[in-house]
Amino acid sequence: MDATAPSHPYYPRTASIPAYVANESSVLRLLMTFGLMVGVVIGLAYWQTIQSPLRLRPIDRFAVMWFALCWYFPSRDAVSVDSYMLDLKVGRNEAVMEEKGSLLFIPELQTVFGQLWKEYTLSDSRYLTSDVFTVCVETITALAWGPLSWLTYFAILTNSPYRHINQVIVCTAHLYGVALYYGTNLGDFRTTGVSYSRPEAQYYWVYYICLNAPWAVVPFVFLYDSYKQTARAFRALQAPEAERKAQ
């Protein structure tokens, strides 16, 4: 065996991931676990819309399920990962940094989310090499957009007047984040020829493109709805004044 061959399956092949430990679970089991978690979150969120005394529109029900997902995964996944990235202890795990600043704990994890991360990062190894952009954007997601997604979810179910303010902020943030996420990857590839994804279609097209695509599409739907609802509210607010002036 070539002593210079990388000890991990990630791209670029020259990436330094010295602490990599292969996943214990099969890909099928991980994908089934991921699908089950998504199904449970969506199912519980939908159940809450059914139990709500409010007359929720179909788009409101969809928004409840969407923002529940946008809250759940950052809170369960990115928070733990990003807290490690900030060199915080969580349970028995602790972030370990090399002299170059690479965080080694992710490749070692055998928790459900740790293994899911390692499977997903076959499509984007930047999570395993402490890429500055990736660390920053995921930290912001964990500390800001995850909690704000929960506030939006709660605001819809309680008919809060702050619902559309929250919705516009978090949807704009998601669009901005996914644009940078795709853009920085593409920019690196076009300028340096470096690819962070394995070449197989499963990793690039399914994991990297398809799994992130909803965050490039769905926020537009909710932004348009917020635009209409806000405009209608202001028209209703301004109508009495317009009628008074017309008299």
Could you state, in order of their start, the residue ranges of all structural domains in the chain?
27-230
pLDDT at 4: 61
- Note the pLDDT tens digit of each residue in 128-174: 888 889 888 988 998 999 999 999 999 999 999 999 999 999 999 99
**DSSP state, residue 91:** T
pLDDT at 96: 38
Question: What's the one-letter identity of residue 64?
Answer: V
Contact yes or no for 79/90 (Cβ under 8 A)? no
pLDDT at 9: 94
CA separation, residue 145 to residues 1, 25, 70, 138, 168 (Å) = 46, 30, 8, 10, 12
Spans of the chain, pLDDT less than 50: 1, 78-104
- Note the pLDDT tens digit of each residue in 86-98: 443 444 444 333 3
Contact yes or no for 107/22 (Cβ under 8 A)? no
Dist CA 172 CA 148 (whole Å): 12
- Could you give the dihedral angle defined by the CA atoms of residues 97, 76, 131 and 195, in that order, rounded to the nearest 10 degrees? 130
What is this structure's pTM?
Answer: 0.84
pLDDT at 86: 43
Closest C-alpha among 139, 148, 143, 142 to residue 171: 148
Closest C-alpha among 159, 73, 85 to residue 116: 73
CA separation, residue 155 to residues 164, 219, 238 (Å) = 9, 17, 24
Contact yes or no for 59/65 (Cβ under 8 A)? no
Contact yes or no for 169/200 (Cβ under 8 A)? no
Dist CA 183 CA 70 (whole Å): 21
